[in-house]
Amino acid sequence: MPPTAPSRALVTLLIAFLCLAWGSTWIVIADGLRDLPPFTSAAARFLVAALAMTALAPGIARREGGRAPTWRLRLALGVLNFGASYAIVYWTETKLPSGVVSVLWAVFPMLMAASSSWFLSGERLRPAQWAGFALGFAGVALLFATDLRAFGPAGVPAAAILLVSPLVSCVGNTLLKRDGKDTSSALVNRDGMWIGAGVLVALAFAFEREAPVEWTVRATLSVLYLALVGTVATFGLYFWLLRHTEAWRLSTIAYVTPAVALLLGTLLKDEPFTRWTLAGSLTILAGVVLATWRPRRRS
């Protein structure tokens, strides 16, 4: 018997949780990087996540159903979404503020929208939805208008490299959505996390053997939170939802996470909350509503 699709209300609730959880990860990554080099920190995160997912995956897979993932899907998720994408994010957060990194990563929904329209059948977007994506990205740009202007010559190369991260994630998501509809999300997550951890360990060994490593309480808690909440829980839910809802709808999470990161920065790090913060956040939310809204069909 095929798995039952989740209700629209449950999908909305889970997307809200993903926005909150992933919105917090940008700040937590930056905290961990105060004591750990980037590839080492990312590798530790995915090793812990892979261990946890190995324990959880068999039980989850029995409940959700689905076939075992092909090696193509395992490699796509592990190398692209986990290995390459997170290596770039962690490295970039050593060069640019975490808020700026989250804003630049918000090009992901636009890439996913285009990819869904071109490569995924049945996910053609209406003009109103394209307008929603544009409005959401305008809100993201508004939030960090000052920072974007202040990149300067040193920040531009790092920002350009960062843009590869959402691009490779878009490729991985498209392959998983197109070829993994009946695949167990728990199993593909487990295997992808091990492959991603292997990629990150190799990068740490190649580039950070002489780098100072301090396993402080802050660094340890950062790795544990990012592994268990920011990886196991979030990606487990995300790829399960990807089986049951449109890829472009899930990609709007990347519009909301910069606003969440701003709010947490204000509350936890005393960062200023200006009228531009409010205007940008409201613009993002308006774009998300427009991008995900579908008119009711008449009987």
Rg (CA), the chain: 19
Q: For the ranges 99-108, 177-186, 251-260, 287-296, which has the lowest average pLDDT?
A: 287-296
CA distance 80 to 138: 27
Residue 297 has pLDDT above 60, yes or no: no
Query: Residue 257's domain spans which residues?
Result: 8-292
Q: Is residue 157 part of a domain?
A: yes
Which residue has better confidence, 152 or 66?
66
User: What is the number of other CB atoms lying within 10 angstroms of the CB of residue 88?
Assistant: 24
Residue 64 has pLDDT above 70, yes or no: yes
State how many domains the chain has.
1
Q: Is residue 280 part of a domain?
A: yes
Q: Is residue 207 part of a domain?
A: yes
Q: Is residue 2 part of a domain?
A: no
CA distance 224 to 75: 24
Whether 148 and 136 have beta carbons less than 8 Å apart is answered as no
The number of angstroms, rounded, from the C-alpha of 189 to the middle of its chain's C-alpha atoms is 14
| Structure tokens belonging to residue 198 | 């292997």
pLDDT in tens, 225-257: 999 999 999 988 887 887 777 766 777 787 788
pLDDT in tens, 124-149: 677 877 888 888 888 777 776 665 55
**Which candidate, 94, 157, 125, 166, places its Cα nearest to that of 292?**
125
| Structure tokens belonging to residue 277 | 């913060």
CA distance 298 to 167: 38
Q: Is residue 1 part of a domain?
A: no
Which residue has better confidence, 48 or 69?
48
pLDDT in tens, 249-288: 777 787 788 888 877 877 777 665 677 777 877 888 787 7
Q: Is residue 240 part of a domain?
A: yes
The number of angstroms, rounded, from the C-alpha of 206 to the middle of its chain's C-alpha atoms is 25
Q: Is residue 173 part of a domain?
A: yes
Q: What percent of the chain has pLDDT over 70?
A: 88
Q: Is residue 3 part of a domain?
A: no
| Structure tokens belonging to residue 233 | 């829980």
